[in-house]
Amino acid sequence: MGPGVWFNVWLGILGMLALASVGAPWISQHVTGFHPNETHSHMAAMAPGVEDVPLEYRQYDGDPAVFDWIDADGSGWIECTVGTSGSSSTASCPELDVLPSRFRFFRFLFSDFDGGTDSSEMADGRLTLEEYPQNDQEIEPAYRGLNLSGSERFHGLDEDGNGWLDPSEVNRQTRAYRLRTAQLIAFDTDGDGKISRDEFPGAPRTATFLLGTDGQGRDLFTRMLFGARISLLVGLLATLISLLIGVSLGALSGYLGGAFDRGLMAIVNVLYGLPFLLVVILILVWFGRSMTHLFLALGAVQWLTICRVVRGQVLSIRQEEYVVAAEALGASPLRVIGVHVLRNVMGPVLAYGSLMVPAVMQEEAFLSYLGLGIQAPDPSWGTLLAEGVRRIEDSWWLIVYPAAVFVITVLALYVVGDGIRDRIDPRQSMERT
């Protein structure tokens, strides 16, 4: 494939990544089912493919068997009472009161029994019949009498009959224990304080952690989508700030010349001698760590090169006939710069700006990795990579997936930026070939 085809391929990849980042809230609600900061502490550092009940974007399966199971007295409805306590309303459904205890038992099932109660075996993320509590004496007193122990309960949870339980299997089989009284009251459409079979929504559906969970039980895929929003936004805004500063100063320096040009270039040379990241760190420490300060700091140190590029371009066209003619007609220096000069240097500016975005994204990732960039709980690719490095030995997916998408994005930006430069200035392309 020729260069033009590769340019279109990488441009398409970049476009899909941009669309995914913009549509992250919609994807979160309708595809993954998880909010980026939604914590499932009992599912911490789980491998890709495990399932759990979403806490924020919950859907129900309408299974009537769940209703029959909860309606223990066979009355045909679940009675609930709604009252007020001060300025807030309270709700109580006695038939649901036992569900939170059952949920808490299964929430800690693997942490308490994986490997055996005496820790005689290594925990492997699943439970065998021998590891599962066989009687109430092996479980906490608060959970005794709930009919949660024994081989019959184990085989009831083992839906595929393979002889062991995994977290997804248990979560699917016990999802009815996640029913919340406050949410069920909303399904009492006729307001009679009773939830009938027709009004009952069923058990909550489970959703899949497509790329696994992080150390706090948050969906990695959802956090990568929202991290793309932040990383790309920081890269674009910091680039715009640096272009605004660099183009303005470079154009003035090249056009005015004299003492202004010498003084500005002296400042640029001094700033070039300072480590860029050290300056950014000092700015963040001085003004405080926030997303706004981050892209302002990155933009404030990236303008030096573009300033030199624009100055050189302006110097080369300063004596062109159309510039001299505009001055002879009485145009002001600002009008000459804005109308006649900058219009002819925007090609290199756009080309350089497209290559500056990935460079800024890499600096943001490094700062976030050091803890000086995006702050928790907001995700960025830098913070995700930092956590992945900390857990690389036992949770490989936390570093592999964020690193892969970051490398692909940066590579796409560089290829597209290089292609834009070739289209704007074909002479450079011919020189390289």
Instruction: Using alpha carbons, select from 212, 192, 189 the residue that is nearest to residue 200.
Output: 189
Average pLDDT over residues 366-375: 78
Domain that residue 82 falls in: 60-204
Q: What is the pLDDT of residue 302?
A: 83
Alpha-carbon gap, residue 63 to 202, rounded angstroms: 5
Q: Are residues 161 and 226 in the same domain?
A: no
77, two tokens: 């409805």
Q: How confident is the model at residue 118 (pLDDT cuts 50, 70, 90)?
A: low
Q: What is the pLDDT of residue 16?
A: 93
Q: What is the pLDDT of residue 52?
A: 95
Average pLDDT over residues 168-181: 89
> Which residues pair with residue 60 across a beta bridge?
204
Q: What is the pLDDT of residue 151?
A: 92
The length of the chain, given as a count of residues: 433
Q: Are residues 226 and 346 in the same domain?
A: yes
- In one-letter notation, the amino acid at residue 257 is G
Q: Are residues 384 and 287 in the same domain?
A: yes
Q: Is 9 within the bounds of a domain?
A: no
Q: In this structure, what CATH number is given to the domain that contains residue 270?
A: 1.10.3720.10
Specify burial of residue 221 (Cβ count, 10 A radius: 0-12, 13-18, 19+).
buried
Checking if the pLDDT of 50 tops 90, the result is: yes
421, two tokens: 């430069």
| Residues 232-241: tens digit of each pLDDT | 888 888 888 8
Q: Are residues 134 and 244 in the same domain?
A: no
Q: Are residues 85 and 127 in the same domain?
A: yes
Residue 381 near residue 365, CB atoms below 8 Å: yes
Checking if the pLDDT of 325 tops 60, the result is: yes
Between these two residues, 219 and 66, which has the higher pLDDT value? 219
Of 171, 204, 237, the residue at which a domain comes to its end is 204
Sign of CA dihedral 253, 259, 264, 265: positive
Q: What is the pLDDT of residue 430?
A: 45
Residues with Cβ within 8 Å of residue 375, at least 6 apart in sequence:
289, 290
Q: Is 197 within the bounds of a domain?
A: yes
Average pLDDT over residues 411-416: 86
Q: Are residues 382 and 406 in the same domain?
A: yes
Q: Are residues 228 and 374 in the same domain?
A: yes
* 164, containing H or E segment: strand 164-165
Average pLDDT over residues 16-29: 93
Q: Is 200 within the bounds of a domain?
A: yes
Q: Are residues 127 and 92 in the same domain?
A: yes
Specify burial of residue 11 (Cβ count, 10 A radius: 0-12, 13-18, 19+).
middle
Please count the other Cβ atoms lying within 10 Å of the Cβ belonging to residue 89: 11
Q: Are residues 144 and 263 in the same domain?
A: no
Checking if the pLDDT of 89 tops 70, the result is: no
Q: How many domains does the chain have?
A: 2
Q: Is 226 within the bounds of a domain?
A: yes
Of 204, 229, 245, the residue at which a domain comes to its end is 204
Phi and psi of 201, rounded to 5°? -80, -15
Q: Are residues 255 and 137 in the same domain?
A: no
Place of tokens 């500063």: 245
* 223, containing H or E segment: helix 220-256
Which of 14-28, 46-60, 177-191, 199-213 is predicted least confidently?
177-191
Q: Ramachandran region of residue 212, left (φ > 0), alpha (ψ -120 to 50) or beta?
A: left
Q: Are residues 265 and 402 in the same domain?
A: yes
pLDDT over 70 percentage in the chain: 94
Checking if the pLDDT of 17 tops 70, the result is: yes
Q: Is 41 within the bounds of a domain?
A: no
Instruction: Using alpha carbons, select from 380, 395, 25 the residue that is nearest to residue 213.
Output: 395
Q: Is 40 within the bounds of a domain?
A: no
Alpha-carbon gap, residue 143 to 146, rounded angstroms: 6
Q: Is 371 within the bounds of a domain?
A: yes
Q: Is 106 within the bounds of a domain?
A: yes
Of 177, 204, 231, the residue at which a domain comes to its end is 204
Checking if the pLDDT of 120 tops 60, the result is: no
Checking if the pLDDT of 154 tops 90, the result is: yes
Q: Are residues 226 and 176 in the same domain?
A: no
Between these two residues, 297 and 167, which has the higher pLDDT value? 167
